[in-house]
Structure 1
Amino acid sequence: MAKLIANYETVMVFSVKDGEESVNALVEKFNSLISENGTINNVDTWGQRRLAYPINDETEGYYVVVEFSAAPEFPAELDRIYKITDGVLRSLIIAKDEEA
């Protein structure tokens, strides 16, 4: 039988070139999107940090890590939205083990 709910973790790196208001709007957008389609278990805001290498000529990014539970179909849709949203430099979604 397929799982109805699975645990995931996503890391989002946002562009800081448009200012703090833009970053806060993106964080709020994705937090509300995740909470509409699942349950947020933990949000860890790392804040602005230097990137390991330049991305689109930017050397700094704003990092947010979100742990959430959702249906197995949702991460693919979330990844699609990450890719079409301006201001998202990088993102990663992983499935977490039940034992962790």
Structure 2
Amino acid sequence: MSGVKNSYETVFILSTKLGEDAIASLVQKFKDLIEAHGTIDTVDEWGKRRLAYPIQKQEEGYYTLISFTSAPEFTAELDRIFKITDGVLRSLIIRKDS
């Protein structure tokens, strides 16, 4: 079962209060984590954007979109890591249709 690979996209929003160095470090951390468990297809850093509504009293966030291929079990672990990482305001992982 571990031989099954699916295509996914994840988008996450980081707090701009972290500062540029910390944001770059977190983005790299997530890219390294995904590469350790699969392959990255594309990384699209949208940068600082205004949020549609305040999240944790913040008006702006740093958006990053990563398309990757991995085993289905990894997405649960990635979601868990997003939730416990300070500075991640929101995250979403979706499976793309093949």
Backbone CA RMSD of aligned residues: 1.3
- Look up the match of 1:52: 52
- Look up the match of 2:29: 29
- Deviation, 1:18, is 2.0
Aligned residues: 98
Point out where structure 2 has 5 or more consecutive residues left out of the alignment. Answer: none
Write the deviation string for residues 5-61 of structure 1: whole angstroms up to 9, x where unpaired.
Answer: 000000010001021011001100000000000000000110000000011111000
Measured in 2, the distance between the counterparts of 1:88 and 1:34 equals 16
- Deviation, 1:3, is 6.4
- Look up the match of 2:75: 75
- TM-score norm. by structure 1 comes to 0.94
- Deviation, 1:2, is 8.2
Percent sequence identity over aligned pairs: 59
- TM-score norm. by structure 2 comes to 0.96
